[in-house]
DNA sequence: TATATTGTTACACC
DNA sequence: TGGTGTAACAATAT
């Protein structure tokens, strides 16, 4: 009887059902939540259980690269005593900033030893998730809950077999990083190295920024006249943060099929796509924020998030607008869904 | 066994 | 040569 009530308040879950891949709105939600929850918390210790998921320095990320145990130790050591300052998002990448640790030279603190502050870059890829566990909940329950999978078997003790990195805070609260597929990564860099991080350099513009104008959109798109519009929207170098789900939804609302070639799209149609990039993502950022909250309160009820989707994941079902059957195509190795009547 | 997924890379083709 | 597409890869639950 007491348990659902407990879960409804102190337990902050920041994750998504495994087939709702985190894209810009989901990562934005995670960033905002974590920013609020982690601000000024000091790390007591870090445990890395899956060395392949972490890396040090701005090097190119590779899932295959073996990380030596010394690097794991260094990763854990560098993060110890760090204080979370902020969590931000760039494309689908989470950027954690830590405050500069006060390190003094041996001569009685007269001279500060120069040391760059640290940033942690985290990509959730498909199934990465952060779960923050407050002190209050932990003192009130024996077990901890990990809603990592589906409604039929939602509860697992934390840490579970998919927990790969654990952040223990001074006040007893804990942040878990889980990833079923292990495609995600945590990359620790010094702030003076951050400009060398390749993925950050190569990201296209943020679609929700004021700087992302119709002009920028048109210029970028028209550079590749022979590509399909869908492949342009999901290309992080063209525009940041859009994946399979939102590209499908944007194209539905713009009324264009994903297979259309850029060359054969009119300026008016491109304008509709641009408008809907802003519209769909803005709506999703708002919706994700609230639906995640609902999800936590209902404990195991995963619904809510898909209710705004018109085409994604609805192949074979009726179009919500015209009742035609939603079709799908394979494009660049990904499934694209569209309504054959609403989208031309 | 086939499928789903992201982002990167290797390679074929025009 | 470079623009473009295709396939493979990482991992694992369904």
Q: What is the pLDDT of residue A284?
A: 84
Angstrom distances, CA of residue A177 to CA of A13, A15, A287: 11, 10, 24
Please identify residues in chain A, positions 179-218, with a C-beta within 7 angstroms of any atom of strand C: 180-183
Span A10-40, pLDDT tens digits:
333 443 333 456 788 888 888 888 898 889 9
Helix boundaries (H) for A107-192: 135-140
CB A314 within 8 A of CB A19: no
**Two structure tokens written together for A58:** 């701005």
Question: Which nucleotide has its C1' atom closest to residue A181's CA?
Answer: C11
Smallest Cα–Cα separation from A67: which of A81, A49, A55? A55
At A39, phi and psi to the nearest 5?
-50, 125
Q: Which of residues 119-148 of A touch strand C (CB under 7 A)?
A: 126
Q: What's the pLDDT at A43? A: 95
Strands A128-133 and A163-169: unpaired
Q: A7 CB contacts (<8 Å, ≥6 apart)?
A: A137, A145, A296, A297, A299
pLDDT of residue A106: 53
Please state, in angstroms and rounded to a whole number, the distance separating the CA atoms of residues A162 and A315.
30
pLDDT of residue A32: 87
Kindly report the pTM of this predicted structure.
0.85
Q: How far apart are CA A163 and CA A54, in angstroms?
A: 13
∠ CA(A94), CA(A305), CA(A175), 5° rounding? Answer: 40
The answer to whether the C-beta of A41 is closer than 7 A to strand C is: no
Distance measured from the CA of protein residue A266 to the C1' of nucleotide B2, in angstroms: 39
Nucleic strand C within 7 A of Cβ A264: no
Per residue in A262-307, pLDDT (tens digit) is: 999 999 999 999 999 999 999 888 876 444 333 333 333 343 455 6
The segments of chain A whose pLDDT lies below 70 read 1-21, 59-68, 100-115, 136-157, 288-307
**pLDDT of amino acid A278:** 94
DSSP code of residue A192: G
Kindly state the tokens that stand for A270.
């491109």
CA atom of A92 to C1′ atom of C5, Å? 25
The answer to whether some atom of strand C lies closer than 7 Å to the beta carbon of A223 is yes
Instruction: Tell me the nt nearest to A27, Cα to C1'.
Output: B6
Q: Is the minimum distance from the CB of A150 to strand C below 7 Å?
A: yes
| pLDDT of res. A112 | 52
What pLDDT shows up at residue A15? 38
Q: What pLDDT is stored for residue A129 in this prediction?
A: 81
What pLDDT score does A269 carry?
95
DSSP A26-72: HHHHHHHHHHHHHTTPBEEEEEES-GGGEEESSPPP-SSPPPPHHHH
């Amino acid at each position: 009887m007491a348990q659902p009530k407990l879960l409804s308040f102190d337990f902050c879950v920041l994750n998504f059902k495994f087939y709702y891949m985190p894209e810009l709105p989901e990562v934005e939600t995670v960033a905002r939540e974590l920013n609020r929850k982690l601000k000024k918390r000091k790390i007591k210790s870090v445990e890395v259980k899956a060395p392949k998921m972490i890396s040090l320095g701005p090097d190119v990320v590779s899932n295959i690269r073996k990380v030596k145990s010394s690097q794991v130790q260094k990763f854990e050591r560098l993060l110890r005593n760090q204080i979370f300052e902020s969590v931000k998002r760039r494309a689908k990448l989470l950027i954690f900033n830590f405050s500069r640790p006060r390190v003094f030279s041996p001569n009685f603190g007269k001279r500060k030893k120069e040391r760059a502050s640290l940033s942690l870059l985290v990509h959730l890829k498909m199934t990465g998730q952060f779960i923050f566990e407050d002190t209050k909940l932990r003192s009130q329950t024996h077990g901890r809950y990990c809603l990592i999978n589906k409604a039929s078997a939602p509860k697992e003790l934390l840490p579970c077999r998919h927990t790969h990195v654990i952040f223990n805070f001074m006040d007893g609260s804990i942040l878990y990083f889980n990833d079923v597929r292990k495609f995600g990564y945590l990359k620790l860099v010094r702030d003076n190295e951050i400009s060398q991080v390749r993925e950050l350099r190569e990201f296209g513009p943020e679609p929700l920024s004021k700087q992302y104008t119709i002009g920028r959109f048109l210029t970028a798109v028209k550079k590749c006249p022979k590509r399909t519009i869908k492949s342009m929207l999901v290309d992080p170098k063209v525009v940041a943060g859009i994946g399979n789900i939102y590209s499908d939804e944007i194209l539905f609302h713009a009324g264009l099929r994903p297979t259309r070639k850029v060359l054969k799209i009119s300026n008016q149609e491109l304008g509709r796509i641009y408008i809907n990039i802003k519209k769909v993502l803005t709506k999703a950022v708002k919706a994700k924020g609230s639906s995640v909250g609902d999800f936590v309160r209902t404990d195991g009820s995963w619904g809510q998030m898909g209710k705004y989707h018109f085409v994604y994941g609805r192949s074979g079902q009726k179009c919500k607008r015209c009742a035609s059957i939603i079709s799908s195509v394979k494009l660049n190795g990904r499934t694209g869904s569209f309504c054959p009547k609403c989208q031309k």
